[in-house]
Amino acid sequence: MSRRGVNEGSIYEMSDGRWRAAVTTGWKTNAAGQPVQTRKVYTGRTRDEVAKKLTKALSDIQKGLPLAGERQTVAQFLQVWLDEVAKANVRPSTLASYTWLVKKHLMPGLGRFSLAKLSPQQLQTFLNDRLKSGRQPLPRRRKADAKPETPKAPANPALTPRTVQHMHATLRAALDQAEKWGLVARNVARLVDAPRVRRPEVQPLTPEQAKSLLAAVRDNRLEALYSVGVAMGLRQGEVLGLRWPDIDFEKGTLSVRSALQRVNGKLQLVEVKTSRSRRTIRLPQVAVSALLRHRARQEQERQFAGERWHETGHVFTTTIGTPLEGPTVTHRFQLALKAAGLPRFRFHDLRHTCATLLLAQGVAPRLIMEILGHSQIAVTMNLYAHVLPTMQVEVAAKMDAVLAPENPVATSVATRAPAEVVPVLATN
């Protein structure tokens, strides 16, 4: 009898009455250094059951797809993914978000399912249930003669579409790894629609409001922090993570190398959001002047603190040299807005203000993408497309000046401002 070849299958009945199908998948070397065949085995109650599994396995092999395992549950895999993959490849804040979503929602809702058998329909039902009534407990088993339980209002409120969207994205990332490892034949999360999220409007400060803010904080010890936020569009964590070696006053540049975050109860410098976020930016003079004043003020604070000073090298610190925290900066920012007679804005709106002002001055979106550290030009365009209608009016006016300078009527029509500009909904 000839030895079975690679990718050939067989079906046989076992001594206990069950049926088993096996398919050879290749060769490996055993402990003795001898080549042995590797097999994938499927077991079922009937011959027809294992025959279907074998047919699918042979089809997957022919298509170049990995053969999926059946024993590992979704919960078991997600724990391995958190420990072995996510922990080594994402920032601490992202890992904390993944862990919360996995432990709080994905494991309770999907953990009991076989990883290889998780279907798009099961995942879609799970996401829809979370939108309707949050995390639902599994139904309790009851005896056949027991009275049906009276339906109760869900103990957990419905989750927001944004939270469910994050759950879907987290599972999709995890199943991408499962697919690479050959644990699943396909990533079912890619076959399921995440809920649509209504994105908030970008709310930047107007040029007049930005000038009023900077004028109001002229003698504030955080003047330079707000100036950098408006003029350079850094994220809050990036601003707080700046150290003096990151600023080259001779070349007039600022390098974003890390961000400050609280990790496990301690403030730490972590990797920036994406590879594009690591960047070197040319400093505008307004930021240079503010930073020079800030450096002189910090030196005075160092001398005044004496032995109480903690040298960390950070640009923005407390009066004793320790790094500033995000909540503290946010609180003081609101006080600065109030002192300037301005309405409430988020600190992140300074970043939006920077991008909007640059676009309004005709700076190329590609350059703005690099200044802000966006990963893709589409992110920049989607966020700030609401500025483009005004720019298009100016472009039309310039075209009229070149092609029809003798026609003042056409020019006046082209430069007339639109009656209404509909803002684009976006987030960062």
Task: Write the pLDDT tens digit of every residue in 232-281.
Answer: 999 999 999 999 999 999 999 999 999 998 877 888 888 887 788 899 99
State the pLDDT confidence band at 137, using cuts at 50, 70 and 90: very low
Give the 3-state secondary structure of residue 162.
Answer: helix
SS3 category, 23: strand
DSSP state of 160: P
Q: How much is the average pLDDT of 381-405?
A: 67
Would you state the structure tokens that stand for residue 409, as one six-digit string? 């009527």
Containing H/E element for 355? Answer: helix 349-360
pLDDT for 289: 93
Give residues with Cβ within 8 angstroms of 423, minimum separation 6: 201, 202, 386
Measured over the CA atoms of residue 417, residue 423, residue 424 and residue 426, the dihedral's sign is positive
Backbone angles phi, psi at 380, to 5 degrees: -65, -45
Task: List, for residues 289-317, the tens digit of each pLDDT value.
Answer: 999 999 999 999 999 999 999 999 999 99
- Does 134 score more than 80 pLDDT? no
CA 383 from centroid of its chain's CA atoms: 15
Model pLDDT, residue 379: 77
pLDDT higher than threshold 80 for residue 226 = yes
CB 247 within 8 A of CB 295: no
The residues spanned by each domain of the chain are 9-63, 74-137+155-191, 207-347
- 80-97 pLDDT per residue, tens: 999 989 988 888 888 989
Using 50, 70 and 90 to split pLDDT, how confident is the model at 425?
very low
Q: Does domain 207-347 have CATH number 3.30.930.10?
A: no
Helices (H) and strands (E) in the chain, counts: 17, 8
242 burial (CB, 10 Å; 0-12 / 13-18 / 19+) is buried
The answer to pTM > 0.75 is: no
Question: What pLDDT is stored for residue 386 in this prediction?
Answer: 63
Superfamily of segment(s) 74-137+155-191: Tyrosine recombinase, N-terminal domain (1.10.150.130)
Least-confidence region, from 76-80, 188-192, 410-414, 422-426: 422-426
Query: Is 140 a residue whose pLDDT tops 80?
Result: no
